[in-house]
Structure 1
């Protein structure tokens, strides 16, 4: 397993990763590793591949615009894991791997003889990242889990939306993405530990969707357990903290202003030419502004609606008041800061032509990540992997194809 990356000096270029999974959480986890040079081989079903290949309502010439981004920098092979021969081949690949990432329902990999206990016998140094709805243990482990369910049971949905309306969803698959990132963190921690250990022993990284969401819920549990407080939906405001809200502009766009600290509030009132507000007993302190939040937001809204977003942003930036427009994808595409920080990459896809996609996060000064290619075709790297890495000759390779193993 020694596929070469197209560019040198990447921090993970000596790390070999096998991806068993589909949709978002598992594939996003490996994509983050691939961006920094990890050699990722994605294993897909020979008949269908990852459903993400056809995902999304916005398509170009019938092609998914999710796939080229989510599978960038990866090698894609097909392998039927339901067949004994396919399982044997998977184990051969595992022997040379550093990390395996899977996001099937718990028990699926065991059914195929590819559970952690099976794989660590083959490769004791292996790190296995397992992503699931509820983790590999506990009474809920066998429940089907999706990001939306993790967001609900992790506590996020309950506090998302307006108090007089039902809970709503965040506009992206945040539960999947959070779990993917925790998977990467866990993998790198385990990798560091392995590399520091005399026996180079790997370990299991168990990441659950609901836990990844719960982990970012700040002090909500502590507040309930200690004083019985349950956070509720509050719409666009943070109760008792003002001003920090969305405010209208002249042409219908919205701007977020955060000026709840006393010194910043004074700067805001100066820009508004309403410096008397910072001396008013109703607004002169943090607690006072919180108590009169609605009145203060109305005053600010009547001021902001007189100006265009760009005018407001420039005035507030010059005054040192935190502010920014509520961006659409169009706003992001046209923003000079995004462009100058290489957060909008232009990559050529074999089928789709020129594509723009999100850049790489985080930025490393000495070993930055790169996007070298977009998501491959189904089985695009079969010959490269099966012949060059595993050493199958032409006859054996063709036989695997004929029998539907690959």
Structure 2
């Protein structure tokens, strides 16, 4: 069960459900960690039945479960608690996202785990954190996307606060979780006398941390982000513009020199003698007029023409893509950003590759999320040494 890649030999027990915690574990598995995914018998991870399905299994699970070994354990049963404890005792990392207190209720309190595995790194992912007035509240990413300040600043000026259509808070926590695990492991290896670690990661803090220096701006200036659609408070032009052939292009000029190139390209170079157009502050004061000028030029041309002229001028532009467009694009193809991943029955499924790419010891996707309990025999009998009789008894009693 040893993998290859830079994290080969690292053993992770993934007890997470749905997205944030399992994504952190997936990122480690992508780079070679041996990740043992623990799910409840019969029902499995919630992600198995979330959203679009391929062959009766959600694409979310097939993605989140990739490169993982799938086992089932009923941690409400004392025998299941002992079984998962044996897995954890042989692991470097435990990842879980139960409500605060639930891990302890399963006789898996961090201090108890450290008594037999003092080097263990434990990543605990929750909505609000292990402590604080809201720590016992139920939470999905939606709630922290609302309370973090993101929704209030997202949307059209005349519209309501707008939530994202994808799980940005969970994704942020997944990446931050993987980073925090590797930070803790590095600290453990550099300072072995300090042993293991317990990491308290909340979706709220992962999301809040994405939003830049809002606290500083508000504290010093009482400034708050406003809903401005696709515009930016840092520069203009920055928006989505429609071409003659009904395509949408994203143009951004956060750097002043790029804005000057765009004004010259669209035949408005004479305006650069006026500080209202030659400076970022001036263009933001006149953002409606700036957008009008850019849209008039873009709207009179086809998309490929605009992209070609912008690229030649060293100005920033990109088309608004769907996943169908991505599948047809030569740049995505040349970098193998989407790969064919094996499934059961000799079938395969397209999914995003491992990012980032390492030059000498890269990660890889070896298989998609497996069937529930697919690796019970390998893990429980071969790795933990259960006898055939014990294995069959545990199956019969719903322990595994």
TM above 0.5, yes or no, is yes
Q: What is the aligned-residue RMSD (CA, Å)?
A: 1.5
Matched, 1:45 2:43: no
Matched, 1:22 2:17: yes
Q: Say which SS state the counterpart of residue 92 (structure 1) adopts.
A: helix
Q: Say which SS state the counterpart of residue 131 (structure 1) adopts.
A: strand
CA displacement at 1:104 relative to structure 2: 1.0
Spell out the pairing of 1:242-321 with structure 2 (5 A cutoff). 242-321=236-315
331, 339, 344: which is aligned to 2:325? 331
Taking the aligned partners of 2:197 and 2:321, their CA distance within structure 1 comes to 42
81, 91, 99: which is aligned to 2:93? 99
Matched, 1:219 2:217: no
> Aligned residue for 2:72?
78
Taking the aligned partners of 1:77 and 1:367, their CA distance within structure 2 comes to 28
Could you tell me whether the CA contact under 8 Å between 2:247 and 2:303 is conserved in 1? yes
179, 195, 198: which is aligned to 2:192? 198
Could you tell me whether the CA contact under 8 Å between 2:94 and 2:122 is conserved in 1? yes
Q: Say which SS state the counterpart of residue 47 (structure 1) adopts.
A: coil
Q: How many residues align?
A: 400
143, 167, 188: which is aligned to 1:173? 167
TM-score normalised by the chain length of structure 2: 0.96
Structure 1 range deviating more: 301-310 or 315-324: 301-310
CA displacement at 1:353 relative to structure 2: 2.3
Taking the aligned partners of 1:59 and 1:397, their CA distance within structure 2 comes to 31
- 1:139-174 CA-to-partner distances (Å, cap 9, x unmatched) read 211111111111112111111111211111112100
CA displacement at 1:249 relative to structure 2: 1.3
Could you tell me whether the CA contact under 8 Å between 1:155 and 1:213 is conserved in 2? no
Structure 1 range deviating more: 58-67 or 244-253: 58-67
Taking the aligned partners of 1:27 and 1:240, their CA distance within structure 2 comes to 35
> Aligned residue for 2:2?
4
Structure 1 range deviating more: 297-306 or 194-203: 194-203
Matched, 1:55 2:77: no
Taking the aligned partners of 2:156 and 2:263, their CA distance within structure 1 comes to 28
Structure 1: runs of 5 or more not aligned: none
CA displacement at 1:190 relative to structure 2: 0.6
> Aligned residue for 1:31?
26
CA displacement at 1:61 relative to structure 2: 4.4
Spell out the pairing of 1:63-212 with structure 2 (5 A cutoff). 63-199=57-193, 201-212=195-206
Could you tell me whether the CA contact under 8 Å between 2:118 and 2:196 is conserved in 1? yes
Could you tell me whether the CA contact under 8 Å between 2:48 and 2:61 is conserved in 1? yes
Structure 1 range deviating more: 377-386 or 213-222: 213-222
CA displacement at 1:258 relative to structure 2: 1.4
Taking the aligned partners of 1:31 and 1:240, their CA distance within structure 2 comes to 35
CA displacement at 1:113 relative to structure 2: 0.6
Structure 1 range deviating more: 353-362 or 391-400: 353-362
CA displacement at 1:262 relative to structure 2: 3.5
TM-score normalised by the chain length of structure 1: 0.95
